[in-house]
Amino acid sequence: MPGKVALRHDGDVAVIAVDNPPVNALSHDVRTALADAFTRARDDANIRAIVLTAQGRTFVAGADITEFDKPPMSPSLSDVIALIESIQKPVVASVFGTPLGGGLEITLACHFRIAASGTRLGLPEIKLGLIPGAGGTQRLPRLVGMQKAAAMILSGDPIPAKDALAAGLIDEIFEGDPAASGIAFARKVLAEKRPLTRARDREDKLVALRADPKTFEEIVAVNTKRSRGLDAPAAAIEVLRAAIDVPFDDALKLEREAFVRLRAGDQSKAQRHIFFAEREAAKIPGLPKDTKPREIKRAAVIGAGTMGGGIAMCFANAGIPVTIVETNADALKRGLDTIEKNYRASAARGGMSEADVGKRMSLFNGVTGMDAAKDADIVVEAAFEEMGVKREIFEGLDRVMGPRTILATNTSYLDVNEIARITRRPASVLGMHFFSPANVMRLLEIVRGADTAPDVLATALAVARAIKKVPVVVGVSHGFVGNRMLRIRSIEAERLLLEGALPQDVDGALTEFGFPMGPFAMSDLAGLDISWRMRKAQGARAEIADQLCEAGRFGQKTGKGFYLYESGSRAPRPDPEVESLIAATSKRLGVTRHPLDRKTIVERLIFPMINEGARILEEGIAARPGDIDVIWIYGYGFPLWRGGPMFHADTVGLSYIRDRLREFAKQTGDKRHEPAPLLDTLASEGRGFGSLAKA
Ligand X SMILES: NC(=O)c1ccc[n+]([C@@H]2O[C@H](COP(=O)([O-])OP(=O)(O)OC[C@H]3O[C@@H](n4cnc5c(N)ncnc54)[C@H](O)[C@@H]3O)[C@@H](O)[C@H]2O)c1
Please list the active-site residues.
Answer: 105, 125
Give the one residue of 412, 428, 459, 477 binding ligand X; rule: CB under 6 A. 412
* Minimum distance of ligand X from residue 506's CB (angstroms): 21
* Minimum distance of ligand X from residue 608's CB (angstroms): 22
Which stretch in 77-85, 280-288, 300-308, 612-620 sits in contact with ligand X by CB under 6 A?
300-308
Which stretch in 214-222, 244-252, 296-304, 447-455 sits in contact with ligand X by CB under 6 A?
296-304
Which of 595, 597, 609, 622 lies closest to 661 in space, CA to CA?
609
**Burial degree of 493 (CB within 10 A; 0-12, 13-18, 19+):** buried
**DSSP for residue 197:** -
Contact string 308-347 vs ligand X (x = CB under 6 A): x----------------xxx---x----------------
Q: Of the two residues 210 and 391, which places its CB atom closer to ligand X in the complex?
A: 391
* Minimum distance of ligand X from residue 414's CB (angstroms): 7
Beta bridge partners of 399: none
Q: Of the two residues 408 and 617, which places its CB atom closer to ligand X in the complex?
A: 408
Give the one residue of 39, 197, 436, 580 binding ligand X; rule: CB under 6 A. 436
* Minimum distance of ligand X from residue 310's CB (angstroms): 8
Distance CA 54, CA 23 (A): 10
303 lies in the binding site for ligand X (CB under 6 A): yes
Q: Of the two residues 387 and 450, which places its CB atom closer to ligand X in the complex?
A: 387
Task: Please give the C-alpha separations between residue 595 and each of 49, 317, 502, 600, in angstroms, as whole numbers.
Answer: 73, 50, 10, 10
Q: Of the two residues 270 and 336, which places its CB atom closer to ligand X in the complex?
A: 336
Distance CA 343, CA 340 (A): 5
Return the exposure string of 211-230: e unless at least 16 CB atoms fall within 10 Å of the residue's CB, then b.
eeeeebeebbeebbeebeeb
* Minimum distance of ligand X from residue 574's CB (angstroms): 26
Q: Of the two residues 116 and 485, which places its CB atom closer to ligand X in the complex?
A: 485
Give the one residue of 180, 196, 234, 389 binding ligand X; rule: CB under 6 A. 389
Distance CA 325, CA 380 (A): 10
Q: Of the two residues 77 and 422, which places its CB atom closer to ligand X in the complex?
A: 422
Give the one residue of 307, 397, 446, 657 binding ligand X; rule: CB under 6 A. 307
Q: Terminal CA-to-CA distance of the chain, rounded, Å? A: 34
* Minimum distance of ligand X from residue 326's CB (angstroms): 5
Yes or no: say if 272 and 288 are a contact pair by the CB < 8 Å rule. Answer: no
Which stretch in 34-42, 65-73, 434-442, 614-622 sits in contact with ligand X by CB under 6 A?
434-442
Distance CA 552, CA 252 (A): 61
Yes or no: say if 190 and 49 are a contact pair by the CB < 8 Å rule. Answer: yes
Closest residue to ligand X using C-beta atoms: 305
Pairing relationship of beta strands 159-160 and 120-121 according to DSSP bridges: antiparallel
Distance CA 464, CA 462 (A): 5
Cβ atoms within 10 Å of 666's Cβ, excluding its own? 11
Q: Of the two residues 435 and 647, which places its CB atom closer to ligand X in the complex?
A: 435
418 lies in the binding site for ligand X (CB under 6 A): no
Give the one residue of 77, 116, 304, 623 binding ligand X; rule: CB under 6 A. 304
Which stretch in 156-164, 429-437, 580-588, 627-635 sits in contact with ligand X by CB under 6 A?
429-437
531 lies in the binding site for ligand X (CB under 6 A): no
485 lies in the binding site for ligand X (CB under 6 A): no
Distance CA 286, CA 479 (A): 23
Distance CA 156, CA 131 (A): 9
- The full DSSP string for 214-277 is HHHHHHHHHH-TT-TT-HHHHHHHHHHHHHHHS-HHHHHHHHHHHHHHHHHSHHHHHHHHHHHH
393 lies in the binding site for ligand X (CB under 6 A): yes
Q: Of the two residues 394 and 563, which places its CB atom closer to ligand X in the complex?
A: 394
Q: Which residues bind ligand X (CB under 6 A)?
A: 302-308, 325-327, 331, 382-385, 389, 392-393, 410-412, 434-436
